[in-house]
Structure 1
């Protein structure tokens, strides 16, 4: 492994990432063709869930930046562009929903209550207090949970593309956007977990408390169940969940966590 203070040939270039950030996708969306082809109710439902998850980026940013993560210049530089790109991903999903005349209002309904996810419902003040106690090692937990989240949403977008041929091109574009998110988060998780046993412990705790995908605590219970079943409920989905678990298990100190995350993803 290349020491953090040196330059690796394949190190993620945050400056180049910011320079080449993907903005609006509207010009690439053929609304008339999508409307003519139509979307199944399940495809529309998945679009709405993904749109709401992508829209939750600012809440996620707030939760991260009240902790020591805001002191990590490399991570915060990435997050600024990451949030910009996710805003436009959500906008693209809204355009598609509008093209087929689907409901574009946020999902609403009773939320799922789980004791293991209680920490995910903490407000910024409590997160700041907990984050200050954890210190800079908490950054490892943030980039690792972020990595798992991006891998989950990539699977969801692939399932969307399979369910709606009219969205194949757009889905490929959105997955490519997320490929760079995955690349950065995987690199940072590797570095930070390898550098600190305490970071590994805090990351294990964060993984145990996380609601998947991140932001799911604000998605109605019935819509969360739909997402889990549609994305991971069949043999193909369970295979995808296992691959996410394997990717996580390969990170320093997280071998056992891979199977746990896989089990939580696959209903």
Structure 2
């Protein structure tokens, strides 16, 4: 297996904890409604970190010391990103409906019940039978999801210049997350054909954050605001190229595939 270059010990000893006090919140009053709505979607997505932790802790990934050490610090950094986003939403004049998660569809309610009651047990059995190949898939999807969020922040900064201090600070945090995921995915995918097959299936099933329970209709305004402009196309292609550059994932274009559901 290829040796890792990411220094987990150094990362864990010096987290980037972006705090609301680090931001000039007074300069963010009266943000435009589309910006607030999109920022609220990003905030909602960042708060799903506990769901991700739950999913990982019932799989062989939880037994990987490097991954567990990383995720402990990652969760801390994610918490403060969420707190800073909420402070910006409050300062920007977000309405109560902006701060509420979109309601589940009928099918979404069934999915949520499955995820909360049965899925952890089913995944624990299935993934433990598959073994460490699952870890490679988690690292690949971790890179993909982080790259998509990084793109969302960069687009927010381009669309609303007053958010550039926030988005630049979050970008510093996300850069280290991307480095870790790429490091782990590269090594694990190179080492196992089974891991490559599993990761390819997993990234191809990836969907845009927030659509699993609420459906694409509720999330579409935020996605359109972020990525409908032709200037966003280069960033979308860059994310897909990053995924496709990982061993065994050539030809995958998960972000463009996920965006297709908003066109139907």
Cα deviation for residue 244 of structure 1 reads 0.9
Which structure's relative contact order is higher, taking Cα pairs within 8 Å and 6+ residues apart? 2
Instruction: Give the aligned partner of residue 243 of structure 2.
Output: 248
Compare 95-104 and 148-157 and name the one that shifted more. Answer: 95-104
Partner-residue secondary structure (3-state), 2:251: helix
2-side partners of 1:72 and 1:111: how far apart? Answer: 36
C-alpha spacing 1:218/1:87, structure 2 compared with 1 (3 Å): farther
Partner-residue secondary structure (3-state), 1:39: coil
Instruction: Give the aligned partner of residue 233 of structure 2.
Output: 238
Instruction: Give the aligned partner of residue 172 of structure 1.
Output: 168
Structure 2: which 5+ residue stretches go unaligned?
none
Asked if residue 19 in structure 1 is aligned to residue 5 in structure 2, the reply is no
Asked if residue 201 in structure 1 is aligned to residue 194 in structure 2, the reply is no
Cα deviation for residue 83 of structure 1 reads 0.9
Q: Does the 8 Å CA contact 1:39/1:100 hold for their aligned counterparts?
A: yes
Q: Deviations over 1:69-116 (max 9, x none)?
A: 0111111111111111111101100000111221363322244959xx
C-alpha spacing 1:101/1:86, structure 2 compared with 1 (3 Å): same
Matched pairs, number: 254
Instruction: Give the aligned partner of residue 90 of structure 2.
Output: 98
Compare 66-75 and 219-228 and name the one that shifted more. Answer: 219-228
- The structure 1 residue matched to 2:71, chosen from 76, 79, 84, is 79
- The structure 2 residue matched to 1:191, chosen from 167, 187, 190, is 187
C-alpha spacing 1:14/1:248, structure 2 compared with 1 (3 Å): same
Instruction: Give the aligned partner of residue 126 of structure 2.
Output: 130
Partner-residue secondary structure (3-state), 2:131: helix
Cα deviation for residue 180 of structure 1 reads 0.4
Structure 1: which 5+ residue stretches go unaligned?
none
* TM-score for the superposition, normalised by structure 1: 0.87
Partner-residue secondary structure (3-state), 2:93: coil
1-side partners of 2:10 and 2:31: how far apart? Answer: 36
* TM-score for the superposition, normalised by structure 2: 0.88
Tell me the C-alpha RMSD between the 2 structures: 2.3
Q: Does the 8 Å CA contact 1:232/1:265 hold for their aligned counterparts?
A: no
2-side partners of 1:75 and 1:199: how far apart? Answer: 16
Q: Does the 8 Å CA contact 2:35/2:156 hold for their aligned counterparts?
A: yes
- The structure 2 residue matched to 1:229, chosen from 219, 224, 228, is 224
